[in-house]
């Protein structure tokens, strides 16, 4: 089992989860600032106001990356730091932009390759108020295109770009369940606004078009001189039939991945939505205009894969409710014969199953013609981690084993199955603001002491990745 010689690996973070500095140097608010201010939305009532204070600790973060051997760092930009109101006719905040220009310079000087995510969920709040944010099919893609252009122009040294992180989360958690900002849902006990039967599919469509626009601008105006690559990052879990003898469960396994991943990947690789989604959603799923197809089809230089877990899938019968987004099926932790998918973690949705990673890498490769894959996130929380004393927290053997199992499964997919995986980012470089779960759930390979000036304490897992990758990456 092995990974290719120039395989690149490192750690990932996202702006709102680590930066803090919410009002520093002219940053405007994002939808997450507003969402956190609504009582009851975040488990511990917290926000990203201070988070890991990374906005003020770039040197410390780069030193940390260097000390644990990272070759690359994936981070995201705060759109409202760069254009506080967000729109294409709104002013640019030079200080905010300069912050990222310098950060990239400093990373490169330290020998670390930057991978920039343009959008990791923190839409400028003004755009949500001005025209409904992601729900606006015309304005949102144009404003995103403008923001992307501003950034490409300012940071020519970055050669690796990701447009959107997990559009599934933005669409479903933001507009169906209301679990994430902006919190829209049909459930009136949670939100006064929202239509879970339509809005998530509209948001997803507009994200795809915005992605297409940003890629077109990169390819036409910047790629010829800068020579970088651009893609989108999609999340999705592996699936196994609840009853392997039941063809309907086997079929539901594919449908589950289609509703999560192919929703975005099929338009990007084939120019249309999966048939299973069209069949269930009818005209609630928008139709691509020819202009939109031209923007979206063929718009990935690489496939960004975020992956954490697996589920058993049991098909449902009858007509699914209007707010169903899974594809008329159930996701379960136990199979019919009583097998468990994996051990519990601190995250209700996450249980480790490394074989699932290998199987999903194969599924994606077969469907999309063996594209170049960067695993842009993979990692785990640990049940009860936050309640342990520091000396126990840094002995995170559960996380060490998770990375060991997952990286080896990926190496087998590469050398034995022919999957074209070229990079890997562990989520996350440090504990951070875990969205609606606040700070209780930790994903970091570094412990952040929020009670003691956000001091960083590398855990065992932080130091485990370098020897692990050294042992599987080919030397010639």
Q: Which residues bind ligand PNW (CB under 6 A)?
A: 14, 17, 165-166, 169, 235, 306, 349, 377, 427, 434, 443
End-to-end CA distance of the chain: 14
Nearer to ligand PNW, 288 or 303 (CB): 303
Say how far apart CA 249 and CA 255 lie, in whole Å.
10
Is 139 noted as a catalytic residue in this protein? no
Q: Which of 126, 377, 385, 434 is catalytic?
A: 377
With residue 9 as reference, give the H or E element that holds it: strand 8-12
C-alpha–C-alpha distance, residues 126 and 14, integer Å: 20
Who contacts 308 (Cβ-Cβ below 8 Å, separation ≥6)? 235, 237, 349, 350, 377, 378, 379, 380, 427
175: which residues sit within 8 A by CB, 6+ positions away?
Answer: 134, 135, 182, 184, 185, 194, 196, 199, 200, 202, 203
**Minimum distance, C-beta of residue 139 to ligand PNW, in the bound complex (Å):** 25
402 vs 7: CA distance, rounded Å: 20
Strands 302-306 and 310-315: unpaired
Residue 331 beta carbon to ligand PNW: minimum distance, rounded to whole angstroms: 10
Cα 12 from Cα 379, distance rounded (Å): 10
CA distances from 249 to 231, 254, 318, 328 (A): 32, 9, 14, 11
Instruction: Give the shortest CB-320-to-ligand PNW separation in angstroms.
Output: 19
| Cα–Cα distance for residue pair 281/200, rounded to 1 Å | 11
Instruction: Give whichever of 288 and 433 is closer to ligand PNW, judged by the CB atom.
Output: 433
329: which DSSP letter? Answer: E
CB of 421 to ligand PNW, least distance (A): 18
Q: Which two tokens stand for residue 256?
A: 């589950």
Q: Least distance to ligand PNW from the beta carbon of 432, Å?
A: 7
Q: Which residue is nearest to ligand PNW (CB)?
A: 349
Smallest separation, CB 233 to ligand PNW (Å): 8
Residue 309 or 454: the one with the smaller Cβ distance to ligand PNW is: 309
Among 166, 199, 292, 346, the one annotated catalytic: 166
Beta carbon of residue 165, minimum distance to ligand PNW (angstroms, whole number) = 5
* Cβ closest to ligand PNW, residue 143 vs residue 377: 377
Q: Which is nearer to ligand PNW, 168 or 222 (CB)?
A: 168
Residue 461, CA atoms < 13 Å, CB-side half-sphere: 33
Is 166 a catalytic site residue?
yes
Please, is 116 exposed, middle or buried when counting C-beta atoms within 10 Å of its C-beta (0-12, 13-18, 19+)? buried
Phi, then psi, of 176 in degrees rounded to 5: -115, -55
Name the residue with tokens 């594209």. 371
Closer of 146 and 441 to ligand PNW (Cβ): 441
Q: Which is nearer to ligand PNW, 61 or 434 (CB)?
A: 434
Tokens standing for residue 344:
């519990």
* Residues forming the active site: 166, 377
């Amino acid at each position: 089992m092995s990974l290719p010689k120039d395989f690149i690996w490192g750690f990932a973070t996202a702006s709102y989860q680590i930066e803090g500095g919410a009002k520093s140097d002219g940053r405007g608010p994002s939808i997450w600032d507003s969402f956190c201010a609504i009582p009851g939305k975040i488990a511990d009532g917290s926000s990203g106001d201070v988070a890991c204070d990374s906005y003020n600790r770039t040197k410390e973060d780069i030193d940390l990356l260097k000390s644990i051997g990272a070759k690359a760092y994936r981070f995201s930009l705060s759109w409202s730091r760069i254009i506080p109101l967000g729109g294409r006719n709104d002013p640019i905040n030079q200080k905010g932009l300069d912050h990222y220009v310098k950060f990239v310079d400093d990373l490169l000087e330290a020998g670390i390759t930057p991978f920039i995510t343009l959008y990791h969920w923190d839409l400028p709040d003004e755009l949500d108020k001005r025209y409904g944010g992601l729900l606006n099919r015309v304005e949102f893609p144009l404003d995103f295109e403008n923001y992307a252009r501003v950034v490409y122009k300012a940071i020519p040294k970055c050669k690796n770009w990701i447009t959107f992180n997990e559009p599934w989360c933005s669409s479903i958690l933001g507009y169906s369940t209301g679990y994430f900002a902006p919190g829209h849902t049909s459930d009136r006990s949670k939100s006064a606004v929202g239509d879970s039967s339509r809005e998530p599919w509209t948001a997803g469509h507009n994200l795809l078009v915005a992605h297409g626009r940003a890629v077109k601008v990169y390819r036409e105006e910047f790629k010829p001189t800068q020579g970088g690559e651009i893609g989108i990052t999609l999340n999705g879990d592996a699936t196994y039939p609840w009853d392997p003898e039941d063809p309907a469960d086997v079929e539901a396994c594919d449908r589950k991945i289609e509703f999560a991943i192919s929703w975005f990947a099929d338009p990007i690789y084939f120019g249309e939505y999966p048939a299973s989604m069209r069949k269930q959603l009818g005209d609630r799923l928008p139709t691509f205009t020819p202009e939109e197809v031209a923007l979206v089809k063929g718009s990935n230089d690489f496939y960004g894969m975020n992956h954490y877990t697996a589920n058993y899938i049991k098909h449902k019968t009858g007509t699914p409710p209007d707010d169903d987004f899974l594809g008329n099926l159930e996701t379960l932790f136990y199979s019919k014969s009583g097998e468990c998918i994996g051990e519990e973690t601190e995250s209700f949705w996450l249980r480790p199953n490394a074989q699932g990673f290998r199987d999903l890498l194969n599924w994606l490769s077969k469907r999309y013609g063996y594209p170049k894959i960067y695993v842009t996130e993979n990692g785990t929380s640990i049940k009860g981690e936050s309640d342990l004393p520091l000396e126990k927290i840094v002995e995170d053997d559960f996380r060490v084993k998770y990375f060991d199992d997952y990286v080896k499964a990926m190496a087998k997919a590469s050398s034995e199955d022919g999957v074209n995986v070229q990079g890997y980012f562990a989520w996350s470089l440090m504990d951070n603001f875990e969205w609606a779960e606040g700070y209780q759930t930790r994903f970091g390979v570094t412990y952040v002491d929020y009670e003691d000036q956000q001091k960083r304490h590398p855990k065992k897992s932080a130091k485990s990745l370098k020897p692990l990758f050294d042992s599987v990456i080919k030397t010639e």
